[in-house]
Amino acid sequence: MRSAAAALPAARSRASDFVALAKPRLNLLVVASTLVGYAMADGEPLGVVRVCGMLLGTGLVAGGASAFNQVYERDLDALMRRTRRRPLPDQRLQPLEGVLFGTAITLAGLLLIVASSNLLAAGVALATLLSYIAIYTPLKRRTSFGTVIGAIPGALPPIIGWAALTGTMPAEAWSLFGIMFLWQLPHFLAIAWMYREDYARAGFPMLPVLEPDGRSTARQSVVYAAALLPLSLAPVLMRMTGEIYFGGALILGLGFLWLTLRFARTRAVRDARHVFFGSIVYLPLLWILMIADKV
């Protein structure tokens, strides 16, 4: 009886470790952005069941990418305070288990996307996975430019949703890609500044590690936020949205830009944290405004 009672918590712990490999909370943004792409496209609705299948499939592929990334970076994760308790660096799971888990959920996700929508959407999801694992993950160890490269797969989820409904990838879909691409850069630069000592300890050549005074980090944050402001208004010019979205996007964009300007002035961790949290607020509100204005 005691062994059976002890086995249950152990099984639950292992299950939670596998879930941690997929980073479900982080990948909620991936799923939400995919839904935005679907909602902003014009076409015959897929139906609730098929939409749920497409979103679940996208989440599984994103989870697979997270698992493969953690397998590859387990040695460096062990050197960083904020990641050393992850299942692989802490040796609660073995690398082979991570690879098998990532492969299983990735294949399941791709099959779900094909079954619920079309091959194009599944192809974009696969391209997202491959560019994240085969290009961004290795580059992250070699160059600070890896952050920019990593923003490409991170910006593809709206394309998946658009392609799932229409089977096409028009300029309107790519405008959503551009918004998400530029949004990620101040977001990740803020994280890099907040945890620059951790990244330096692990040997990641992040921009704040290479240029410790923070001038380039702060300046680039401002540049990307400034570029995001007009691009976030592009859906209005493309007649995807109207006045409500224009006003809201303008206010959100100016607010986000102000946060990066304040960070550039002080280069304080506190202000970097404000940029980080501001980015978390900015994108969901922008997506909500976009969908609400279309509806």
If you write DSSP's letter for every residue of 216-241 in order, what string do you get? HHHHHHHHHHHHHHHHHTHHHHTTSS
Contacts of 3 (CB under 8 A, 6+ apart): none
Asked whether the beta carbons of 64 and 105 are under 8 A apart, the reply is yes
The token pair at 21 is 């490999």
Residue 6 has pLDDT above 60, yes or no: no
% of the chain beyond a pLDDT of 90 = 83
Asked whether the beta carbons of 71 and 88 are under 8 A apart, the reply is yes
Q: What is the pLDDT of residues 211-240, one digit of tens each?
A: 999 899 999 999 999 999 999 999 999 999
CA–CA gap between residue 188 and residue 215 (Å, rounded): 15
Residue 54 has pLDDT above 80, yes or no: yes
Q: Rounded to an integer, what is the distance from CA 129 to the centroid of its chain? A: 12
Q: How confident is the model at residue 151 (pLDDT cuts 50, 70, 90)?
A: very high
Q: What is the pLDDT of residues 82-120, one digit of tens each?
A: 889 999 998 999 999 999 999 999 999 999 999 999 999
At residue 163's C-alpha, the angle toward residues 239 and 160, to 5°, is 105
Q: Rounded to an integer, what is the distance from CA 20 to the centroid of its chain? A: 16
Contacts of 258 (CB under 8 A, 6+ apart): none
The total of other beta-carbon atoms located within 10 Å of residue 65's CB is 28
- pTM to 2 decimals? 0.92
pLDDT averaged over every residue in the chain: 93
